[in-house]
Amino acid sequence: MIKILLVAGARPDFMKLAPLYFELRKYPSVFSLRIVHTGQHYDYAMSRVFFDQFGLPEPHFFLEAGSGSHAQQTGNIMIRVEDIMRSEKPNMAVVFGDVNSTLAAVLAASKLCIPIAHVEAGLRSHDRSMPEEINRVVCDTLADMLFTTCDDANLNLIKEGIDVGRIFLVGNIMIDTLKYFLPQAEKSRVLDKLGIDEGKYILVTLHRPSNVDNLENLDRLAEILSAAAERCKIIFPIHPRTRKNLENNGGNSAILNNRNIILTDPLGYFDFIKLQKNAFIVMTDSGGIQEETTYLGVPCLTLRKNTERSVTVTDGTNKVVALNLKKIISLIDYYMQDGVLSRRRPFLWDGQTAERIVRILRERFADEAKKEDEAERLTSTDKIVLKNITE
Ligand code: UD1
């Protein structure tokens, strides 16, 4: 049996882990699976709800690493995940995306000489002030198999001198989850609960440190949201980091007390997808949401200076607008006057990425699986011979 450790810990990891877990599980005689939850995210709404909604089993290991500075969080996860890796001795560790849990697992596994597969490799914002960019570069340098979402990612890796034999263009695994659960998300009653109509609201999410840990930028965001709220209702599910900063800094009353801005706690997957699909526009600094809006064909304004997901701009519905109030408002007005939105779904964003990854993993481990089967067969033969002799 090939033992695979799937390591996840933050909200965006769970949407990527689920399709791969279920696809690998179709081959119980080949793969034995262990899910490790690092505990980077621990609130019900940031973690557990996704396990429940996707029907994932309890993680085999829950590391309770929690929050802290980058070094504290990464170090805590490394220490804990190393213990699991030592005792489990997996044939491979699979990691997702670009969060601190990904980095920690990659560092621990590579020092133990455990082969690593990185799902969502090769994305680059070329902005090293983003913690995620550092995680991406380190993870891709160390991982053995790099599963990418688009051609740009392959090019980035090749430019960094990574051997093409390690790179596999497989498409976007988040879209597997989105496509699979879309019918269920359609049934969500969240629009009624919030008292809003289809296509008549802007959905906002913000959590990047560069936006919400910086007081000046938080004020600019308040200005942007107030101006947008004069045109349209805003739904704003607040990430814990953002809530803390808004509440700690005099409350930013422009956001907290605006009757046209509806604040909610972080939402589960089905409610959030329903809100995205029916939004007039989505404004965000998230990575995954740029991809989901592209798939759903909903206009997305990315409130960052850059994006590592350039395919969502070239092919999809995404526009990178930073915190440029004038640009944002003129785009909102443009879409309000039925402005044209041209887009196509990127290549291989088709719901079959997990299948492609598992096919590649089965090929990679074919020889090892055969050897293990052979060893297993020999041991059983020995047992029979031994039994016959002793009888
Ligand atoms: C992390 C990822 C980011 C990803 C985001 C998705 C890194 C470097 N960043 O950012 O790439 O887009 O997750 O949400 O890994 N907190 C809670 N409850 C929780 C989790 C966090 O209250 O369940 C609070 C903690 O006080 C913490 C803060 O939120 O200090 C931020 O959490 P953290 O995991 O450090 O980073 P995120 O901003 O969530």
What tens digit of pLDDT does each residue of 140-186 get? 999 999 999 999 999 999 999 999 999 999 999 999 999 999 999 99
> Which residues make Cβ contacts (< 8 Å) with residue 196, sequence separation at least 6?
233, 235, 262
Region 337-344: mean pLDDT is 83
Among 11, 15, 99, 292, say which to mutate for ligand 1: greatest number of ligand atoms within 8 Å of CB: 99
Region of poorest pLDDT, from 243-247, 260-264, 337-341, 353-357 = 337-341
Atom of ligand 1 nearest to the CA of 73: 35
Whether residue 256 is predicted with pLDDT greater than 90 in this model: the reply is no
At 81, which amino acid appears?
Answer: V
**Residues 6+ positions from 318 with CB-CB distance below 8 Å:** 290, 293, 294, 300, 301, 302, 307, 309, 312
Give the CA dihedral 255, 237, 96, 270, nearest 10 degrees: -160
Report the distance separating Cα 329 and Cα 352, nearest Å. Answer: 37
The string of pLDDT tens digits covering residues 220-252 is: 999 999 999 999 999 999 999 999 888 886 556
Active site residue 126: no
Measured in Å, residue 241 CA sits from the centre of ligand 1 at 7
- The model carries a pTM of 0.94
> Which pLDDT value is given to residue 375?
73
Task: Name residues contacting ligand 1 (CB within 6 A).
Answer: 10-12, 40-43, 46, 67, 73, 98-100, 131-132, 207, 239-241, 286
Residue whose CB lies within 8 A of the most ligand 1 atoms, among 136, 241, 248, for a mutation test:
241
**Cβ partners under 8 Å of residue 313, min gap 6:** 307, 319, 320
For the cut 90, the answer to whether the pLDDT of residue 284 exceeds it is: yes
The pLDDT, as a whole number, for residue 387 is 63
The residue whose CA has the least distance to atom 3 of ligand 1 is 99
pLDDT classification of 342: cutoffs 50, 70, 90: confident
Closest CA to 45 of 272, 292, 233, 248: 272
45 DSSP assignment: G
pLDDT bin (cut points 50, 70, 90) of residue 371 is confident
Query: What pLDDT does 341 receive?
Result: 82
- The neighbour count for residue 371, using CB atoms within 10 Å, is 11
Average pLDDT value for the chain: 94
Q: What is the mean pLDDT of residues 347-354?
A: 98
From the candidates 37, 41, 118, 207, give the one annotated as an active-site residue.
207
Write the residue with the smallest CA distance to atom 35 of ligand 1.
Answer: 67
pLDDT score recorded for residue 339 = 76
**Interval 114-131: pLDDT, tens:** 999 999 999 999 999 999
Spatial distance between the Cα atoms of 338 and 200, rounded to a whole number of angstroms? 13
Span 16-62, pLDDT tens digits: 999 999 999 999 999 999 999 999 999 999 999 999 999 999 999 99
Domains of the chain: 2-170+352-380 (3.40.50.2000), 185-338 (3.40.50.2000)
- Give the ligand 1 atom nearest the CA of 135: 8
